[in-house]
Amino acid sequence: MPGLAIEIENLTKEYPFGFLHLKKKTSLEGLNMQVETGEVFGFIGPNGAGKSTTIKLLMRVIFPTAGSARILGKPISDVEMHRDIGYLPEQPYFYDYLTAAEVLDYFARFHDLTAADRKERVERMLKKVGLETARKIQLRKFSKGMLQRVGLAQAILHDPKVVILDEPMSGLDPVGRREVRDIILELKRDGKTVMFSTHILSDAEMLCDRVGVIVGGKLRGVGAPGTLVDMKTQGMEILFELRGTSNAPLLSMATRTGDCYRLQVAEEELYAAIEQLRAAGARILSVSQVKATLEEFFMNLVEADRAQASAVEVSEK
């Protein structure tokens, strides 16, 4: 059984606001989560859900109100733990007076690497993220996508065991996104643990062994993308053909395209529906299980959260 790369226990972050900071807004509420060694873990949620807050807490950019976390068995307060961690911040920004090669060399100096090793790694990383031709250009002339690539390069430069990426696909064109996906898969092949946040669900479905869904600062589900959506099977879809007219009641529930109809029914009502349709003279073309996509699962959670928030607002009024 693989060990745990990241362990998060009851992590909570509250931000004081208002006059004298007497009010508090909870960004993250009692997060408990584990990421296993060697897996690609997707942290998904809408904007403001608490994804970046969690990652910033892990990186000690901000400090928790309560709770704790460990990475590779060491508490996050242990600075030596950072030798084995790579981190890409959301919308990364680096010293714009440095060139791409210089900024990578600067970051490499914080790890115990020889000058020759640093030079070799910097060249290799620039090539990997497609910036070898831009190595001597100052970052102030870089586009958002190019900065994202620099950010990715500095995150994996020192060959870390755990790579934490905050919105790695953000700001990238389709080619760039594909390259980032390839890098994540390559890291997985090399046995690294990757945790990345995203709100692009197709990326999560494509890349992740497991995903954690966070909405409104609370973790709403963790599991393989397949198992998460299986829990929410939406019913059975019947595709049928019917020439002419019929007054079968089920037809009013179906979607029509020419002579073809699509009807969705609950699993337990499937056979009764088929009988009715056959009696009405329909020709059944196919019957398939309707599986909720990760997106639908995600949207359900978001809508439930919004409904709950409005209910609280109304009751407070």
Partner 1 sequence: MRRVGVVALNTFREAVRDRVLYNLVFFALLMMAAAVAVGQISIGIEQTVIVSLGLTAISVIGLLISVFIGVALVSKEMDKRTLYALLAKPVRRWEFLLGKFAGLVLTLAVNTAAMALGLLLAMIYVKHSLERSDAVVLVAVYFILLKLALIVALALLFSCFTTPLLAILFTVGFYIVGLYVQELRNLPVEVMSPAMTAFTKGLSYLLPNFENFNVMAMAAHGRAVPGALILQDTLYTVVYCTIVLTAAAAVFSRRNLK
- Interface with partner 1 (CB under 8 A): 56, 59-63, 79-80, 82-83, 85-89, 91-95, 97-98, 106-107, 109-111, 151, 154-155
CB of residue 284 to partner 1, shortest distance in Å: 58
N-to-C CA span, the chain = 51
Q: Which DSSP state fits 65?
A: S
CB of residue 306 to partner 1, shortest distance in Å: 26
Amino acid, res. 19: F
Query: Between residues 99 and 198, which has the closer beta carbon with respect to partner 1?
Result: 99
Query: Between residues 154 and 197, which has the closer beta carbon with respect to partner 1?
Result: 154
Strand partners, 40: 194
* Number of C-beta neighbours around residue 68 at 10 A: 14
Strand partners, 289: 236
Decide: 217 and 49 in contact? Cβ < 8 Å: yes
Query: Between residues 101 and 242, which has the closer beta carbon with respect to partner 1?
Result: 101
Query: Between residues 58 and 254, which has the closer beta carbon with respect to partner 1?
Result: 58
- What values do phi and psi take at 17, rounded to 5? -150, 175
Strand partners, 239: 262, 286
Decide: 219 and 28 in contact? Cβ < 8 Å: no
- What values do phi and psi take at 219, rounded to 5? -75, 125
Query: Between residues 77 and 202, which has the closer beta carbon with respect to partner 1?
Result: 77
Query: Between residues 92 and 221, which has the closer beta carbon with respect to partner 1?
Result: 92
CB of residue 91 to partner 1, shortest distance in Å: 8
CB of residue 61 to partner 1, shortest distance in Å: 5
CB of residue 106 to partner 1, shortest distance in Å: 6
Distance from C-alpha of 228 to C-alpha of 294, rounded to nearest angstrom: 7
Distance from C-alpha of 114 to C-alpha of 94, rounded to nearest angstrom: 23
- Tokens for 314, please give them: 């109304």
CB of residue 252 to partner 1, shortest distance in Å: 55
